[in-house]
Amino acid sequence: MSRIRRKQREMRSAIILVAPFMIIFAIFFLYPTIKVVMLSFTNAPLIGDGDWVGFDNYAKLLTDRLFRTSLWNNLYFVVLTVIPTTVIALLIALAVGQLRGRMQALVLTLFFLPYILPVSVVTLIWSWMLDFQFGILQPLIAAVAGRPVAVFRDPNWVMPMIALVTVWWTNGFNVLLFIAGLRNIPQDLYEAAALDGATPWQRFRRITWPLLWPVTTLVLTLQLILQLKLFDQVYLLSAGGPFNQSYVVLLQMYREAFQLNNGGYASAVAMVLFAIIVILSVLQFQLLKIRGRR
């Protein structure tokens, strides 16, 4: 078989293997994305055609007070969750890494179990535990605040408590990532450092932290993207209230599209959020990579 015919066969095989993914990608991602971009420049309802309005929807967003509030709440939620959940996951991974055998497997299972629960189950569990009258966590809240608090109806408590629920729910996956990173660090480095008299803090600072930085960068980037797409927890726990203190961008998009039938304006909201996620995640990832090279 000539070299040219062999390459043609390899190309055909590659096309056959890749084609199913490309077809699914085009139907379920590429086409809807193009459609949303086009809709964002119209005044179309959710279903049906509309008139071309150019950048009017985007100009309206600049003066939309509710959109500014929802964007601020999204950024506030990122501050409450991204770095705290990364730090907590790292500490848990370091602690679990000291365990061995079945005990380690059991502890890992306990930490990962919430991650596989549906969001409806997670929010129901926490609604029960934080119930104003019967919640088992209300005595703890009363000890801190001096009185029982309906946390999902209080403007000062609602976002921190949704952040707490989110960290508890999603942190198991981050722990697994850190555990995988720790297992890839050669034990010879720790043994050599111990022979040189390095303390546990020095071993962490000089060995663990630098070698774990790529995993930390990945976790921070994934968490940033995930938390900017916040919707489920807010919708089920507070519905954006009270007084729009937990109103987020995806909740506004849902309201405009499915409640007010403003498909064009909802598409503009979606495109702005998409652009923010891309810009912030790429910027953060590059900055963290630069930090890791130092």
> What residues does 42 pair with on adjacent strands?
52
Output the six-digit token pair for 46: 């959710």
Longest dimension (CA), the chain: 83
Domain borders along the chain are: 64-293
Q: Say how many Å lie between the first and final Cα of the chain, rounded.
A: 52
Burial of residue 215 (CB within 10 Å: 0-12, 13-18, 19+) is: buried
> What is the pTM assigned to this prediction?
0.89
pLDDT of residue 219: 93
Residues 6+ positions from 57 with CB-CB distance below 8 Å: 40, 41, 43, 264, 265, 267, 268
Residues 183-210 have pLDDT tens digits of: 888 888 888 888 888 888 888 888 888 8
Q: Rounded to whole angstroms, what are the CA distances from 150 to 138, 159, 241? A: 9, 13, 12
pLDDT for 294 equals 62
* pLDDT score recorded for residue 159: 95
Please give the CATH superfamily to which domain 64-293 belongs. MetI-like (1.10.3720.10)
Neighbours of 251 (CB within 10 A): 22
Using 50 as the pLDDT threshold, list the residues of the chain that sit under it: none
Rounded Cα gap, residues 168 and 254, in angstroms: 25
Report d(CA 47, CA 49) in Å as an integer: 7
Query: Which two structure tokens, joined as six digits, stand for 114?
Result: 């919430």
Look at residue 64 and give its three-state secondary structure: coil
Beta bridge partners of 52: 42
- The predicted pLDDT at position 97 comes to 84
Place of tokens 């962490």: 204
